């Protein structure tokens, strides 16, 4: 038996035969010189191939699937890139080589720069460029020897297998939607890659960052994929296979509601501890139509609406009316429950075009979120005005992301007051008592949470960024991913400090990071004083089940013991042991 650790990209467990997807050899790219008279002919060939590729992508787009649509929309934008495309024409004139060779060299040159940047996000965009312009290349190669991944991968991956590959292009990942595979394991990739997002959307267990694993696997070999813990087990003995099959069956029954009292009946039960403490469970969503699913899962409102998805995937930013219509729909459909809408949080892994062209060395530490909004006051004011107008239709709350110091918050609140005054002057109706809050996602904000609590109505802990900034770790980098752990004592102390600051000031503190969807972490956090959690709707039932089994007194004892420990592994062991006692 051999265990390998990677990055958990999509939770779940699979015990199945493996299918190794090895990259096919690409067709040889011809290279020959052309005369000046042939330049425009070659350019027209390129333009025709571009248009054919765009038409293919439009046929594949399905607006009902937001992630698929976003990926293909990004490819369409690349095929209209105002810098890349004209350079092909310029190189045809200066180098006088056939367009296939010019395109190949340009792709190689661009992707090499991105991969050498040291930034995981930019490296993953290199895959997108190869995928998008790979279509163009296929149309240029008239002999048909090159095949697009969309035409091939889903046809030969056997159903029920775990797909193993070095990496997958977005188009290849899209083709797997209906392939009925049991899981995905990749040598490369990270938690924010398109493959990871799609795997989570389709609930396919996936582990990434397993460098060199293809050399250890062969088709048909039965393996264990434990994506809950980021593990792959090769050559598992019979007892290990039996253990993981049982775990897999138990998860499947729980997810599909096969147990008595589960499914629709279970979700209606309140999230109340055994000693009567009511816990509020809300949903993280990105689109207005996701409210329905959140309500079906039993969410008591929306704790995080990611407004940036209105801004991404288009060269034209949404105007005030477009935003107002979306925010109003979210609020009205929540039937009085709160809707916490985060202002634009673009940057890092979700870039607007203006941010992308900067090619910042480290976009995670750069011009993102509230920093970008402050520099674009007209855009920011339009968003705030749309939010204020929508607040007239229900319990809408406005949340500002990536606040790192008090001066920044003061600027934001000044802009907000100016927009409110403008609404009053123009007799635009809005909720005069609309609540405003901030994300606590950088250590400086957590350290000064007591000061921020004096100026806001609520604070929401965003653990995804808080962990990265506290531990100085890129969670998508497999070399240092072991440091990305919300059970780390330093992270827990910042969280505890924020909760305590909110309680002393009478300000609600919630959590909307991935930690909020982990039942074990919720147990610990209840003991630390947290009472409001927001998570992906799919995790609500499991979190509620755990809450109904425990008491605040037990949670407080657990938290007290955990805060005395010096290592994340000790804290996790403590929590896991306690949870097992309730099973």
CA torsion angle 245 575 302 273 (round to 10): 110
Q: Angle CA(53)–CA(54)–CA(56) in degrees, nearest 5? A: 65
* Alpha carbon distances (Å) from 135 to 86, 100, 300: 18, 12, 45
Nearest one of 152, 158, 150 to 180, comparing CA atoms:
158
Catalytic position from the list 20, 139, 194, 448: 194
Residue 70 contacts residue 116 (beta carbons within 8 Å): no
Q: Beta-carbon neighbour count of residue 112 at 10 Å?
A: 11
Core vs surface per residue 516-539: b (16+ CB within 10 A) or e: bbbbbbbbbbbbbbbbbbbbbbeb
- Rounded CA separation 60/97 (Å): 33
Looking at the DSSP bridge assignments, the partners of residue 342 are 306, 399
Question: Are the beta carbons of 132 and 53 closer than 8 angstroms?
Answer: yes
d(CA 188, CA 478): 9
How far is residue 46's CA from residue 34's CA, in Å, rounded to a whole number? 15
448 assigned to active site? no
Query: Please, are residues 6 and 190 in contact by the beta-carbon 8 Å criterion?
Result: no
φ, ψ of residue 555 to 5 degrees: the values are -65, -40
State how far the Cα of 337 lies from the Cα of 140, in Å rounded to an integer. Answer: 55
**Beta strand residue intervals within 286-380, DSSP E:** 302-306, 339-342
264, 36 in Cβ contact below 8 A? no
Active site includes 353? no
Q: Which are the catalytic amino acids?
A: 194, 512
């Amino acid at each position: 038996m051999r265990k390998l650790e990677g990055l958990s990209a999509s939770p779940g467990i699979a015990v199945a035969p493996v299918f190794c997807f090895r990259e096919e050899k690409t067709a040889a790219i011809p290279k020959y010189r052309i005369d000046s008279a042939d330049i425009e002919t070659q350019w027209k060939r390129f333009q025709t191939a571009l248009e054919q590729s765009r038409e293919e992508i439009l046929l594949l787009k399905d607006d009902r699937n937001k992630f698929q649509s976003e990926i293909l929309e990004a490819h369409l934008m690349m095929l209209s890139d105002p810098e890349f495309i004209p350079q092909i024409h310029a190189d045809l004139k200066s180098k006088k080589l056939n367009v296939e060779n010019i395109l190949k060299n340009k792709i190689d040159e661009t992707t090499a720069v991105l991969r050498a940047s040291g930034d995981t996000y930019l490296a993953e965009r290199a895959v997108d460029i190869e995928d998008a312009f790979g279509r163009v290349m296929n149309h240029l190669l008239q002999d048909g020897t090159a095949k697009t991944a969309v035409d091939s991968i889903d046809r030969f991956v056997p159903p029920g297998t775990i797909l193993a590959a070095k990496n997958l292009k977005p188009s290849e990942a899209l083709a797997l939607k209906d392939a009925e595979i049991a899981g995905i394991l990749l040598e490369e990739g990270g938690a924010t890659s398109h493959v990871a997002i799609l795997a989570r959307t389709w609930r396919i267990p996936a582990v990434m960052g397993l460098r060199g694993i293809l050399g250890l696997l062969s088709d048909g070999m039965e393996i264990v994929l434990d994506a809950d813990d980021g593990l792959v087990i090769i050559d598992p003995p019979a007892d290990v296979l039996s253990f993981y099959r049982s775990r897999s069956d138990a998860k499947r029954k729980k997810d599909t509601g096969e147990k008595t009292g589960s499914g629709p009946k279970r979700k209606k039960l309140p999230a109340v501890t055994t000693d009567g403490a009511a816990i509020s469970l809300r949903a993280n969503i990105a689109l207005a139509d996701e409210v329905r699913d959140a309500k079906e899962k039993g969410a008591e409102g929306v704790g995080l609406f990611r407004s940036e998805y209105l801004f991404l995937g288009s060269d034209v930013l949404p105007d005030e009316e477009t935003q107002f219509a979306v925010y109003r729909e979210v609020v009205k459909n929540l039937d009085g429950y709160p809707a916490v809408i985060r202002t634009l949080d673009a940057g890092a892994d979700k870039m607007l075009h203006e941010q992308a062209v900067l090619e910042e060395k480290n976009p995670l530490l750069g011009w993102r979120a509230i920093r970008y909004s402050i520099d674009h006051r007209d855009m920011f004011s339009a968003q705030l005005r749309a939010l204020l107008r929508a607040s007239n239709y229900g319990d809408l709350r406005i949340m500002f992301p990536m606040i790192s110091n008090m001066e920044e918050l003061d600027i934001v609140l000044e802009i907000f007051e100016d927009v409110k005054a403008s609404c009053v002057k123009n007799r635009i109706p809005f909720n005069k008592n609309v609540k405003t809050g901030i994300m606590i996602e950088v250590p400086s904000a957590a350290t000064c949470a007591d000061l921020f609590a004096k100026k806001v109505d609520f604070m929401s802990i965003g653990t995804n960024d808080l962990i990265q900034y506290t531990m100085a770790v890129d969670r998508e980098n497999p070399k240092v991913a072991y440091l990305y752990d919300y059970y780390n004592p330093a992270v827990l102390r910042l969280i505890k400090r924020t909760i305590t600051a909110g309680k002393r000031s009478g300000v609600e503190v919630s959590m909307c990071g991935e930690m909020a969807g982990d039942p074990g972490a919720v147990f610990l956090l209840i003991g630390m004083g947290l009472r409001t959690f927001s998570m992906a709707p799919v995790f609500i039932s499991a979190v509620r089940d755990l809450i109904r089994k425990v008491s605040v007194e037990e949670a407080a004892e657990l938290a007290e013991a955990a805060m005395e420990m010096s290592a994340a592994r000790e804290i996790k062991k403590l929590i896991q042991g306690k949870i097992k006692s309730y099973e």
